[in-house]
Amino acid sequence: MNEYNFNIEEIEESNSINTPSPKKPKKRIALKIAASLMAMTLVSAGSIGVYRQFAEAPKNSVTAENSEAPESNISAETVSMLKAAESDGKELSGEEIVEKVMPSVVGIESTFSMPEQQRSGGNRFFGFGFDFGGEQVQQDPVGTGTGVTVTEDGYIVTNAHVIYDSQNGCGLASDIKVLLGDDTYEAEVIGYDTDCDLAVLKVDGKGLTAAEFGDSDELKLGENVIAIGNPLGFDLMNTVTRGCVSGLNRNITINDKSMNLIQTDAAINSGNSGGPLINKYGQVIGINSSKMSSSYYGEASIEGIGFAIPSNEVSKIVDDIMNFGYVTGKPQLGISCQAVTETISQMYNMPVGVYVVEVSENSAAEKAGLRKGDIITAVNGVEVTTSEELTAQKNLHSAGDEIELTFIRDGEEMTAKVTLDEMNTSQS
pLDDT, position 426 = 47
> How many whole angstroms from its chain centre is CA 164?
10
The answer to whether the 3-324 and 331-427 domains have the same CATH topology is: no
> What is the rounded CA–CA span in Å between residue 149 and residue 274?
11
If phi > 0 it is left, if psi is from -120 to 50 it is alpha, else beta; for residue 270 that is beta
> What is the rounded CA–CA span in Å between residue 146 and residue 161?
11
Distances (CA, A) of 424 to 144, 332, 377, 415: 28, 9, 26, 27
User: In this structure, which CATH number among 2.60.120.10, 3.40.50.720, 3.30.365.10, 2.30.42.10 belongs to the domain 331-427?
Assistant: 2.30.42.10
Candidates 246, 248, 241; CA nearest to 272 is 241
> What is the rounded CA–CA span in Å between residue 316 and residue 332?
18
Sign of torsion, CA 379 383 384 390? Answer: negative
Q: Catalytic residue positions?
A: 161, 197, 273
> What is the rounded CA–CA span in Å between residue 377 and residue 389?
10
> What is the rounded CA–CA span in Å between residue 40 and residue 318?
11
> What is the rounded CA–CA span in Å between residue 260 and residue 40?
11
User: In this structure, which CATH number among 3.10.20.90, 3.30.2230.10, 2.40.10.120, 3.40.50.1820 belongs to the domain 3-324?
Assistant: 2.40.10.120
> What is the rounded CA–CA span in Å between residue 230 and residue 105?
10
pLDDT per residue, tens digit, the chain (428 aa), is 433 333 344 433 332 223 333 343 333 333 322 223 333 334 554 432 323 333 333 333 333 333 333 343 333 343 444 444 444 568 899 999 999 999 999 999 999 987 766 655 544 333 333 333 444 555 778 889 999 999 999 999 999 999 998 877 788 999 999 999 889 999 999 999 888 888 999 999 889 999 999 899 999 999 999 999 999 889 889 999 999 999 998 887 776 677 889 999 999 888 899 999 999 999 999 999 887 765 545 556 677 889 998 898 777 788 888 888 888 888 989 999 999 999 999 999 999 999 999 999 999 999 999 999 999 999 999 999 998 889 889 988 989 999 999 999 999 999 999 999 988 754 43
Q: What angle do CA 194, 246, 226 make, to 5 degrees?
A: 75
User: Residues 347-358, buried b or exposed e (16+ Cβ, 10 A)?
Assistant: eeeeebbbbbee
Domain residue limits, the chain: 3-324, 331-427
Tell me the pTM. 0.68
